[in-house]
Amino acid sequence: MALIERLLSGRITKGTLTIHRPDGSASTLGTSTPNWPDIHLRIIASNAERRILTNPSLGLGECYMDGSVSVDHDDIMGLVALVRGNNPWESGGKLKPESPLKQAVSMALRPLRQLNNLANSRSNVAHHYDLSNDFYRQWLDSDMQYSCAYWPDGVDTLEQAQIAKKAHIAAKLHLRARQRVLDIGCGWGGMALYLNRVADVDVLGITLSSEQLKLAQERAEKSGVSDRVKFELIDYRDLAIREPQGFDRIVSVGMFEHVGVPQFDAFFRAVTNLMTDDGVMLLHTIGRMGSPSTTDAFTRKYIFPGGYIPALSETLAASEKVKLIHSDVENLRIHYAKTLREWYQRVQTIRAAVISQYDEKFYRMWLFYLAGATAAFESGGMCNYQIQYIRSRHNLPLTRDYMAEVEKEYLAKG
């Protein structure tokens, strides 16, 4: 039995994986099963198997990127979903324990991989978000929401799901007209503009991406609200020094993943200082359903340098130090998997445009990233958390009923 087959032996039971080699030989793992894919992986380069086996977390992705392996019909989503789906995170089966030495080295190196000081934070953000606004515009929804959408019953399209996400978050902020809101990691401005429109609030959105800043400011001007919705290229740490306790509400969507464990304490101290004493914050972040770990090598190298997906335990432990009260915690579970599958399909439809703008390797890298992320949310240990924070236990109504009521009002506004 060849090495890859040995590695995967017993790990694929539903669906099939057929491995084709340059010499014409082939072997099949698993059993054809309804609703499970039958995947054909083709080994093209002679050194591909060695690269995959010696560094699994990087090897498959890099081999797929440079054409050393291929998947029939370019179904890298199917391949990753097949392997992950047969080995779900919550399966309850026995796990081979990580060696104490490997675990110790991995955790010891974690802070070095997340040195997100001011200079590193800017360069790390630019690596991903400054690719070009045109690239993201081609496959995101019309409001360019680059974070987990929300899929309640009756919502079938990505456009609807992103509107539902904004309404869901806005409702948890318990907004009042003319309040001052801070959007940390504002993206292309969609959330800030939405909050102003449905709740009549003033918003400052901050980002470290010059590309995002430019488009966000253009959108505010075009909407005629640039006097009330402003955007700035500034780090949250610098803003906390400049404007202590200046905001009634704080929202942060898809930014906390870029903070890094060494900065968790600084982040929560900064946001606490930025909030009024009766302030409310909503933190929307990818999270781990298990214990703290490390960022996988492919994501760290190619997608989000300096990024880290936090466990709920370490997020709450950091916020507790500054007496932020987590008044509500929601796990969105598979909502991001549905969102990522939509993005993956959209990127596939613009293959020629992406290759023309970048190249084939970049296109394959992006597909592998979206496929791997989807599988992590469908079968792995990833989820999305929405954590509502308050500084005073008296800040909000005694029950959660207000959330559903105002969410309906916001949804009616579109």
Half-sphere exposure of 37 (CA within 13 A, CB side): 20
pTM across the whole model: 0.91
Cα–Cα dist 86/15, whole Å: 9
Output the pLDDT for position 117.
67
Number of neighbouring beta carbons within 10 Å of residue 24: 6
pLDDT in tens, the chain (414 residues): 577 887 788 899 999 999 999 999 999 999 999 999 999 999 999 999 999 999 988 999 999 999 999 999 999 999 999 999 999 998 766 656 666 655 555 555 556 555 556 666 666 666 666 678 999 999 999 999 999 999 999 999 999 999 999 999 999 999 999 999 999 999 999 999 999 999 999 999 999 999 999 999 999 999 999 999 999 999 999 999 998 879 999 999 999 999 999 999 999 999 999 999 999 999 999 999 999 999 999 999 999 898 999 999 999 999 999 999 999 999 999 999 999 999 999 999 999 999 999 999 999 999 999 999 999 999 999 999 999 999 999 999 999 999 999 999 999 998
Cα–Cα dist 392/316, whole Å: 16
Q: What is the DSSP string of 195-253?
A: HHHHH--EEEEEES-HHHHHHHHHHHHHHT-TTTEEEEE--HHHHHHHSTT-EEEEEEE
Distances (CA, A) of 189 to 141, 143, 218, 407: 13, 8, 9, 20
Exposed (0-12), middle (13-18) or buried (19+): which is 343, by Cβ within 10 Å?
Answer: buried
Output the pLDDT for position 19.
95
Output the pLDDT for position 126.
66
Q: Where are the domains of the chain?
A: 3-85, 117-413
- Four-point Cα dihedral 230, 231, 236, 239, nearest 10: -50
Cα–Cα dist 123/304, whole Å: 11
Output the pLDDT for position 99.
61
Q: How far is CA 30 from the centre of its chain?
A: 31
Instruction: Give me the CATH code for the 117-413 domain, please.
Output: 3.40.50.150
Reduced to 3 states (helix: H, G, I; strand: E, B; else coil), residue 283 is strand
- On whether the CB atoms of residues 367 and 76 are closer than 8 A, the answer is yes
Instruction: State the amino acid at position 380 in one-letter form.
Output: G
Output the pLDDT for position 383.
98
Structure tokens at 122: 């800017």
Q: What is the DSSP string of 149-162?
A: ----TT--SHHHHH
Cα–Cα dist 247/410, whole Å: 22
Cα–Cα dist 160/166, whole Å: 10
Structure tokens at 166: 């904004």
